[in-house]
């Protein structure tokens, strides 16, 4: 079963919007403490990598 943004948000105790912002590095919208909580959740949910849609990646990373 795939891990979703909702799963990560629930485990981290934050909103899905916050998870989305952390994953897309929109740093103006969250604290470093929140980012750490969100980024450690995939490890807790036993996944290695979150696959993001291409439109979430910067053009240079595609």
Cα 51 from Cα 3, distance rounded (Å): 10
Predicted TM-score (pTM) of the model is 0.61
Domain ranges of the chain: 5-61
Residue 61 has pLDDT above 60, yes or no: no
* pLDDT, tens digit, 9 for 90 and up, residues 9-53: 898 899 999 988 888 888 788 888 988 888 887 666 654 455 656
pLDDT at 8: 86
Which class would CATH give 5-61? mainly alpha
pLDDT at 14: 92
Given phi > 0 = left and psi -120 to 50 = alpha, else beta, which region is 52? beta
* Cβ atoms of residues 34 and 24 within 8 Å: no
């Amino acid at each position: 079963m795939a891990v979703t943004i909702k799963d990560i948000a629930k485990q981290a105790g934050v909103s899905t919007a916050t998870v989305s912002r952390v994953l897309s590095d929109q740093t103006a919208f969250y604290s470093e403490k929140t980012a750490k909580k969100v980024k450690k959740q995939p490890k807790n949910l036993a996944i290695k990598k979150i696959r993001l849609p291409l439109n979430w990646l910067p053009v240079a990373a595609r």
